[in-house]
Structure 1
Amino acid sequence: MIENNNALAGKLPKTPYPELKKLQPLVGKWKISGDDGLQATSTFEWMEGGFFLVHHFDLIQGEERHKGVEYIGFDENTQTLRSRLMDIDGSNFSYTYDIEGHTMWYWFGDRGSNNYSKSVFTEDFKSYEGKWRWPMPDGSTGGYSFKAERMD
């Protein structure tokens, strides 16, 4: 999601961008578990109007807790599904989403970043499994595996 779309004031589209439909498999409530004791709940719902998907999350992994909200929309400049995530720890991060078929990519920052998650949905879209990967200062790769199951 771009920082703002002030330049489009008065020229905003009347209907949501078709690309947003790719996010539909995420809509609902999810229970997530994974490495290092990862336990989380995630809820995705469309904001009225359908221009943004709102993601509420509550996650504990090891000694860390993350809780917050993410707003996902269409970025006119990059033609990608971009988000702004805000966490109780003060984080204000940008991410990029893509879902093609049953595969979901979630990049920290821009599409193609080397800090990313790749997940695969089951045929019925009731669960998905994935891995987060990121570069470590010593040149190795950090990461963890997880599984999400639909609760609704």
Structure 2
Amino acid sequence: MKTLEPLIGKWKLTGDDLAGEVTFEWMEGGFFMIQRFDLVQAGRHEKGIEYTGFDEETQTLRSRLMQTNGSNFTYTYQIEGNEFWYWFGYKGSDNYSKSTFSADGNSYSGRWQWSLENGEAGGYSYVATRIE
């Protein structure tokens, strides 16, 4: 879990038709990370919470994300060095975000990408800047 430490704090997200804030914090005890998000993406308001912990079955950092609109999804986290991977579902999924932290750790930038039905790549770029 401690590999997720670089995310702890409050972040401003901007990007291709994306704006909002995300906060990451440790749950008391340090065994889980909590993410709270409030974004406008592609004209839709996205708001919710995500809980991340170590998953024994997959030996990965898995999360459960729940939105105020009733949707819920599973994601997998990985941070190695300055690279931050965030897969929809399982590690290795073709729907993922890959970003890179700045040298000072106060920002990360990257791209979400996935395969479209026609075989082309879909996605968007983003930048997260620490605000707290």
Both structures adopt the same fold (TM-score exceeding 0.5): yes
Shift of 1:51: 0.6
Deviations along 1:59-98, one digit per CA (max 9) or x if unpaired, are: 1023211000000000011110000000112111000000
Cα distance in 2 for residues equivalent to 1:90 and 1:136: 24
The equivalent of 2:44 in structure 1 is: 64
| TM-score normalised by the chain length of structure 2 | 0.98
Q: Which has the higher strand share?
A: 2
Cα distance in 1 for residues equivalent to 2:121 and 2:113: 7
| TM-score normalised by the chain length of structure 1 | 0.85
Listed as ranges, the gaps of 5+ residues in structure 2 are none
What does 1:20-99 correspond to in 2, within 5 Å?
20-36=1-17, 38-99=18-79
Runs of 4+ in 1 over 6 A off after TM superposition: none
What does 1:97-116 correspond to in 2, within 5 Å?
97-116=77-96
Shift of 1:31: 0.2
Size of the alignment, in residue pairs? 132
Listed as ranges, the gaps of 5+ residues in structure 1 are 1-19
- Greater radius of gyration (CA): 1
Cα distance in 1 for residues equivalent to 2:74 and 2:128: 22
Cα distance in 2 for residues equivalent to 1:91 and 1:62: 17
Cα distance in 1 for residues equivalent to 2:116 and 2:95: 10
1:130 to 73, 86, 110: 110
**CA-atom RMSD, angstroms?**
0.6
